[in-house]
Chains A and B, each alone.
Chain A
């Protein structure tokens, strides 16, 4: 295996971890409108991810940085090509990020509501647009020989990308609800379970439509049939595991199931991309990993750095989660408006 390929896998891994973690983060944000009935409950939901959201988002920053550091040509093409989409992702992440802090400082009911709404809207925008972008890029887009991508509106917004965006968002919501069942007690917890019982069948339908569209709209199944099929089956199996957890009231199973389904979506996309990093409508202009990669020297340094730092990060990252395991009850504190 070349170092460039290793980094392609690593970037995929970083994106998967990001989606696993920030997926429930986004889902909890969305559930402030779908699940909570009053401000106390909304705040309890927000509090459940309060200590974690920033760390979770750092995985996206790391994935972006790692892409720049190892496959800069992918970074340049993807980020400049999907300019408007990424701008809106940033707007979503920004509005959402500040709302955690601002809602504490808002004193009027209106003020608190405004930041709760930005929290919701941002939590919805970011996963939808990110999945939209990823499912758009794997279909192949107009690119020139320099590697500049010029996706037109319908390259970005089409049946597969929108279904992918909706499915990713829905899966995030389901994942978020599974997280809530782990971290909150009282009626919220039961409502999360009931909502998931409704959402899972819709999700399965969405996954089937998604798989069919991927089959017809991408070359994943013509180029890499076995692995694509295998991963698609895994996505559904992990979702089934999640559904099983919901039905049998085993939160651990459902949380792991929905998270792994989300991660597997990224695995499917990266597996289908391989050995390319950007797919052009004119295959001659597609960018391959080996062309997109940095020098062997730089990749060696980055590999050493990652091999040392990622385990250390993982240790204190997991430790930070073990600190907050006590379930939150929204009724045990009153909130001043």
Chain B
């Protein structure tokens, strides 16, 4: 271990966080875009309005860019359990591998095969049948989310297992319990709904930039897209807030420390509990001083009623020590990183509310009767900038989930420090961290650059272009 704080565990954790966050930029966006592009194509098949076909094609290009990056970074995720966390893989193999393998067999194959078909069969299938191909991809991405979240939910709240006394490893006893884990069925809707919201925000935001250019031939296209994106953002921001609330109820039950940390509560609150908006946290001395408080709101958030106190981290810490000292020793630190969780929660919920507000105003101002949205340039710029906020919100949500598990990698059973590969060295980990960092910077930069360029060209760019030149990736390359 080096003195500058580069321990193997911290490097491995940093790498996991970096790869996961980067991967998770693209995954929710791809899931959402798949669903929305499929919806657009279905609308075309039903209504026969060409604008929906143009939409499916144009937004499909943005979708494919994110899908490509999402796919390739996904392989890192699968490999790095073995590469960086081999002790974890040994301990958890009996439970964790199954969802991962099923994900590949059930979901990845559907995604990867049908996306290939969808890309190359635009003029070979009837619109309805062609839309089915992207629906298959969308279903594949969602199935994939179920299985990876099933694995993650087990790490948050282990169910259906026992510890094998001879090997000391986890042994699966009830597969049904793993896939009916209450955590799973609360986190899954939250993730999917937020994913669709994310895609809605990007479509609305990019359409706003498109409209601001004031090109006559593109006006209708971007207007329809903007309305579509705003409606999706509004509906799914509300739904994902609801799903998040349900998930919170479960977290209070299963992981009280995580919840107390997201609220920055050290001492048990009074009854009814007030909700802290801003707080100064002193993580070293386990104290916090609220700076803005709203009475009773935390009781409502936590219990859906006007009374009830919430347990603070100090008492939960004591309980955890009483419960686990025999197994993990007296020196274990059970305080999850309170500042990260406190602020991540506020960023996540704040962003959701912000999206609701923007989308609500946008829907109002763009309604047919009193369509004034295009004159509000300031508002269009805000919609355009709001492309970025759901990505930050998604990452914040992921931070809460993963940092809130501390100090365990499998809640109550196996610590992060025990999970790391014994073969790792600071040198190799530094090397891989740098490689990944450079790679992600490159991929992220290129992806954003090409998305921007696609928007700049507008929806009719390639169609005019194809009069002289056949797109080498279009069906002509195959059918002729």
Contact = CB atoms under 8 A, between A and B. Distances in A.
Nearest to B473: A104
Given A51-B120, A333-B472, A334-B469, A90 B96 contact: no
A94 B102 contact: no
B82 A68 contact: yes
A328 B470 CA distance: 13
Given A69-B100, A90-B75, A55 B116 contact: yes
A73 B90 contact: yes
B82 A78 contact: yes
Contacts of B119: 50-51
Nearest to B112: A54
Nearest to A324: B478
A48 to B, nearest CB: 9
Nearest to B81: A68
Nearest to B90: A76
17 contacts: A58-B108, A65-B101, A65-B103, A68-B81, A68-B89, A93-B72, A98-B72, A101-B64, A294-B172, A298-B171, A305-B98, A309-B105, A320-B114, A328-B477, A332-B470, A333-B469, A336-B465
B443 interface: yes
B433 to A, nearest CB: 10
A94 B83 CA distance: 17
B361 interface: no
B83 A98 contact: no
Interchain residue pairs A-B with the least CB separation, the first 5: A72-B93, A79-B82, A69-B97, A68-B97, A80-B86
A331 to B, nearest CB: 11
The contact size tier of chain B is 35 or more
- B interface, by DSSP: helix, strand, loop or mixed? helix
B94 A68 contact: no
Interface string A64-87: 111111101101111111011011
Interface stretch (B295-303, B319-327, B416-424): B416-424
Interface stretch (B261-269, B335-343, B446-454): B446-454
A70 B453 CA distance: 45
A238 to B, nearest CB: 26
B435 A62 contact: no
Nearest to A94: B72
B293 interface: no
A50 B72 CA distance: 15
B387 interface: no
Given A50-B473, A65-B104, A309-B105, A320 B117 contact: yes
Contacts, number: 247
A329 B104 contact: no
B6 interface: no
A295 B164 CA distance: 10
Interface of A: 43-44, 47, 50-55, 57-58, 60-62, 64-70, 72-73, 75-81, 83-84, 86-87, 90-91, 93-94, 97-98, 100-102, 104-107, 146-150, 294-295, 297-298, 301-302, 305-306, 309-310, 313, 316-317, 320, 323-324, 326, 328-329, 332-336
Contact of B78 (A65, A302, A329): A65
Given A58-B104, A105-B65, A148-B423, A93 B98 contact: no
B290 interface: no
A85 to B, nearest CB: 10
B94 A298 contact: yes
A189 to B, nearest CB: 15
A91 to B, nearest CB: 7
A51 to B, nearest CB: 4
Looking at A69, A73, A86, A294, the one whose CB has the most chain B CB atoms below 10 A away is A69
B172 A326 contact: no
B381 interface: no
